[in-house]
């Protein structure tokens, strides 16, 4: 029996939600792409169900491989994956950020978290630093989403203390900031000394204005 133009949805054996769009206009070509959380595969109508099943499975595999390759080289995808992993390990997934990305216009801050949109952004200056330092800033921003009403208060600190190298990372980053201060000319503006556009609920995780003092861990 040959298929008619229609759309069917199911979940495959690996748990991937699949939508198959059978189109009368399509003659031979098949395409596949993620749309939100669903893998959408467009196929010509009029195939046998058996042929369609094989072609769809093949296309799903291809798209999955492409996505895997993409996230291996896409720094934002890598960072988002790291954030999910850390959120699961440290906070049982409670931070649940909506997006996590590197930004280059955030020179005065190591990181920020928007409590409304749940977006996390890290300064790409961190990318030259050790993984455990990057992880610390990520843990800091995730902890803000876990304890959104606590600022840098005791509950926030308790959450953040699940990250094992808070102390070391503060020392490392204080050292970097100190060097940055020393290199700046008196009266000069820090590069990129601009507020992030339009969001009023951004956490300022300053690296230039003594933002680390509150942790009580000065570097010597
Ligand atoms: Zn903070």
Q: Do 15 and 123 have their domain in common?
A: no
Distance in Å, CA 74 to ligand 1 centroid: 26
Classify residue 111: in a domain, yes or no.
Answer: yes
93 and 189, same domain (yes or no): yes
Residues 25 and 51 occupy one common structural domain: yes
Say how many Å lie between the CA of residue 211 and the centre of ligand 1. 9
Give residue 145 CA to ligand 1 midpoint distance, Å. Answer: 10
Inside any domain, residue 62 = yes
CA of 193 relative to ligand 1 center, distance in Å: 18
Residues paired with 34 in a beta bridge: 39
Please compute the mean of the pLDDT values over residues 75-102 and round it to a whole number. 93
What residues contact 107, with CB distance under 8 A and at least 6 apart? 123, 125, 190, 191, 192, 193
Instruction: Read off the DSSP letter of residue 190.
Output: P
| 64 and 94 inside one domain | no
Residue 193 and residue 209 in one domain: yes
Q: Is the pLDDT of residue 170 over 80?
A: yes
How close is the Cα of 152 to the center of ligand 1, in Å?
6
- Residue 1 within any structural domain of the chain: no
Boundary-marking domain end, from 71, 89, 106? 71
Question: Which residues on neighbouring strands pair with residue 184, listed in sequence order?
Answer: none
Considering the domain architecture, whether residues 201 and 147 belong to the same structural domain is answered as yes
55 with 100, same domain: the answer is no
Judge contact between 139 and 100, C-beta under 8 A.
no
For residue 214, the CA-to-ligand 1 centroid distance in Å is 10
Q: Does residue 106 share a domain with residue 65?
A: no
User: What percent of the chain lies above the pLDDT cut of 70?
Assistant: 80
Residue 177 lies in a domain: yes
Same-domain check for residues 149 and 190: yes
Q: State phi, psi for 99 to the nearest 5 degrees.
A: -155, 155
- Quote the ligand 1 centre to 203 CA distance (angstroms): 5
214 secondary structure, DSSP code: G
Average pLDDT over residues 175-183: 72
Q: 186 CA distance to ligand 1 centroid (A)?
A: 27
The 10s digit of each residue's pLDDT in 106-134 is 667 899 999 889 999 999 989 989 999 99
In a domain, 220, yes or no: no
Enter the pTM of the model. 0.58
Q: Is the per-residue pLDDT at 207 higher than 90? A: no
Cα 72 to ligand 1 centre (Å):
29
pLDDT band for position 27 (50/70/90)?
A: confident
Q: Is the pLDDT of residue 195 over 90?
A: no
In the Cβ-directed half-sphere of 220, how many Cα atoms lie within 13 Å? 5
| 25 located within any domain | yes
> CB of 7 within 8 A of CB of 20?
yes
Q: Which residues contact 76 (CB under 8 A, 6 or more apart)?
A: 100, 101, 102
Give the mean pLDDT of the chain.
80
Name the residue range of residue 30's domain.
Answer: 6-71
In the chain, the largest separation of any two C-alpha atoms, in whole Å, equals 80
Is there a domain that residue 50 lies in? yes
What b/e sequence results for 24-41 when a residue is b if at least 16 CB atoms lie within 10 Å of its CB, and e otherwise?
eebeeebebeeeeeebbb
**144 Cα to the center of ligand 1, angstroms:** 6
Q: How many domains does the chain have?
A: 2
CA distance 205 to 133: 14
């Amino acid at each position: 029996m040959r298929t008619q133009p229609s759309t069917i949805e199911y979940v495959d054996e690996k748990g991937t939600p699949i939508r198959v769009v059978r189109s009368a206009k399509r003659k031979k070509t098949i395409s596949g792409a993620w749309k939100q959380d669903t893998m959408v595969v467009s196929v010509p109508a009029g195939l046998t169900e058996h042929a369609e099943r094989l072609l769809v499975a093949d296309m799903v595999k291809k798209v999955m491989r492409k996505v895997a390759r993409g996230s291996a080289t896409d720094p934002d995808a890598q960072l988002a994956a790291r954030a999910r992993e850390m959120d699961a390990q440290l906070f049982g997934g409670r931070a649940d950020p909506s997006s996590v990305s590197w930004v280059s216009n955030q020179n005065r801050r190591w990181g920020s978290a928007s409590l409304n949109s749940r977006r996390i952004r890290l300064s790409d200056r961190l990318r030259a630093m050790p993984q455990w330092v990057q992880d610390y800033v990520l843990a800091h921003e995730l902890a803000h989403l876990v304890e959104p009403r606590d600022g840098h208060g005791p509950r926030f600190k308790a959450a953040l203390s699940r990250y094992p190298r808070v102390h070391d990372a503060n020392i490392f980053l204080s050292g970097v900031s100190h060097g940055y201060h020393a290199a700046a000319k008196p009266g000069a503006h820090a590069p990129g000394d601009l507020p992030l556009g339009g969001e009023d609920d951004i956490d300022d995780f300053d690296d230039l204005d003594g933002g680390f003092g509150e942790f009580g861990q000065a570097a010597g």
